[in-house]
Every structure is written in structure tokens, then in C-alpha cells.
Chains A and B, each alone.
Chain A
Amino acid sequence: GNRIDTSLVSRHKELQREVCDLTEAEEQLDELISKCTLQLRLLTEEPQNNRLGYVRCQDLRQSFDSPDQLVMVVRAPPETQMQVTEPSEGYQVSLRSTQGPIDVFLCPEDSSGVC
């Protein structure tokens, strides 16, 4: 069984090294993810960006450009919960906010550019 031993030992070593590399890679990813999350928050919260962070009604219409589509916009405070039923149980959406009222409106189809 000596040969099996050697191959097992080398396999073992190899696996150990791989797991070690993966651990390092994962730690690197964790760090990048938390940095990126913070950057994104600072970016969107910055007042000038916050003011300029909008889409036009025409952008929405072009994004869902099928003439057959009705486009509803939902603007809700943070931590609003959205629940969707299983398709087999019907098509239902519920919204529940705790921090303020929810706004829902339709995206108009006419080209006036006004919501």
C-alpha cells in the first residue's frame, strides 16, 4: 500500500493548497464586495447624483417597447416588502411599507413625455 500512500499524500497536499488558495480568493472577494457596496451607497447618496439619478418617461417606454405592454412604476420607501404569489395560485402582488406611503403610477404611452 506504499504507492497508494504516496499518491494519497500528494493528493492531500494538493487539495490543501487549493482550499488555501480558494480561502484567500474568497476573502479578497468579500473585501471587494463590501468596498463596492459602500462606494455605491456613497455614490447614490451624494446630493448632486441623487438629484440626477432619474430616468425619463420616454426611457421607460423605450425599455419596454412592446406596444402591447402596460408599464406600472412603483416607488416605495426603503424596507418595503413585496410579496408575489406562486403563479399556480394566481397572479397577485402585495406591497407593505412601514416607513411611508407608496407611490404607484402608470407610464403614459403618448409622446408628451409627461408621466
Chain B
Amino acid sequence: IGLPTNSAQECQNLEVERQRRLERIKQKQSQLQELILQQIAFKNLVKRNKETEQQANRPPPPNSIIHLPFIIVNTSKKTVIDCSISNDKFEYLFNFDSMFEIHDDIEVLKRMGMACGLEVGKCSPENLKIARSLVPKALEPYVIEMAKGPISNVYITGGSSAN
């Protein structure tokens, strides 16, 4: 007596647990994807800069480049910006009279095409080949999945990849 109720209750608990784990996995998958994108984008950037420097036979003038990490704040040229800075430059306060955007350096690298289009799931076969060559074997299944398009469902990669 009472067993069905218990099982029903336990099924419900398991169902909740399952849902919770699915949510966490989704979150962790996008975290992993972002890390993979960063790895690919950074490697591509370094490769490009190295090639450009070799072609030019010298590094670019220091005042023409910005080293990572950085953050971009962009706004309309019409925006009035009021800026206060502490003497030691440890603290800044900006007031904008209009909207602004904040982007991290990875966003810039993505816009430069350094993530091979993987960030939007638009990756040509050649770019996919490059992207795959830039990550360790264990991450290749994720790269292939990302190349197919934005991921909405939880997927579980097999232990061994076919190549």
C-alpha cells in the first residue's frame, strides 16, 4: 500500500532532476563553445599577424596596434560623453547622453572573421577544416556541431569520433 504514490512522487523528483541537469548541460555547452571559439579566434589572429609581419619584414608600429585583452565602448558620434578620471587613472566615470554598446575583444575577433564563422554556424568547408585543425581532437565533434548552425538541443557526443 502506498507504493504507487511513492513511485509517482519519485518519478516526479527524477523528472525535476532531469530537467535541472538538462538546463545545466545546455549552459555548460554554450560555455564550452565560447571557449572553443576563443581558442580558434586567438590562434587565427596570431597566425594572421605573424604572416603579415613576415611579409612586411617588420612588426607594425606600436601605436597602430592594440594588444588583447581590451574592451570596446562604441556610441554615436553625436553622443556627448562626460568623463571623469581619478589622478592615478585607477577610476573612470563616463556619462553618455545617449545609448552605447560594450563589446569584448572576442566580439571584435569574431567580426574580423577569426572564428571562421562558427559563432553563427556559417562555416564553409574550408573554414571548418581550418577550425578543426586549431583544436585538440577531443573538441572536434563540438566544432563540427557548431559548424552546422546554432545549437538549440542538448546533444551528447559519442566517446570516439569517426576520424
Binding site for B on A (CB under 8 A): 1, 4-5, 8-9, 11-12, 15-16, 18-19, 21-23, 25-26, 28-30, 32-33, 35-37, 39-40, 43-44, 49-50, 52-57, 59-60, 62-64, 68-76, 82, 84, 87, 90-98, 100-104, 113-115
Contact = CB atoms under 8 A, between A and B. Distances in A.
16 contacts: A1-B4, A18-B18, A33-B35, A39-B136, A40-B39, A40-B42, A52-B45, A52-B49, A53-B45, A55-B108, A68-B77, A69-B76, A70-B76, A73-B71, A75-B71, A98-B90
Given A12-B7, A97-B91, A104-B92, A57 B102 contact: no
A1 B7 CA distance: 13
A91 B102 CA distance: 12
Contacts of A92: 93-96
B3 A5 contact: yes
Contact of A94 (B17, B31, B53, B93): B93
A101 B86 CA distance: 10
Given A21-B156, A43-B43, A93 B112 contact: no
Interface stretch (B60-68, B118-126, B145-153): B60-68
Contacts of A60: 66, 72, 108
Given A9-B7, A22-B25, A94 B91 contact: yes
Contacts of B161: none
Interface of B: 3-4, 7-8, 10-11, 14-15, 17-18, 21-22, 24-25, 28-29, 31-32, 35-36, 38-39, 42-43, 45-46, 49-50, 53, 60-61, 63-79, 81, 83, 88-100, 102, 105, 108-109, 111-112, 136, 138-139, 142, 154, 156-157
Contacts of A96: 90-91
A33 B31 contact: yes
A71 to B, nearest CB: 5
Given A29-B25, A43-B39, A73-B70, A57 B93 contact: no
Given A53-B42, A73-B72, A104-B92, 19 more contacts: A21-B156, A23-B21, A25-B156, A33-B28, A36-B32, A40-B39, A43-B39, A52-B45, A54-B49, A55-B45, A55-B65, A55-B68, A55-B112, A70-B75, A74-B72, A75-B70, A93-B102, A94-B91, A94-B94
A115 B25 contact: no
B67 A53 contact: yes
Given A8-B11, A102-B90, A36 B139 contact: yes
Contacts of A52: 45-46, 49-50, 53
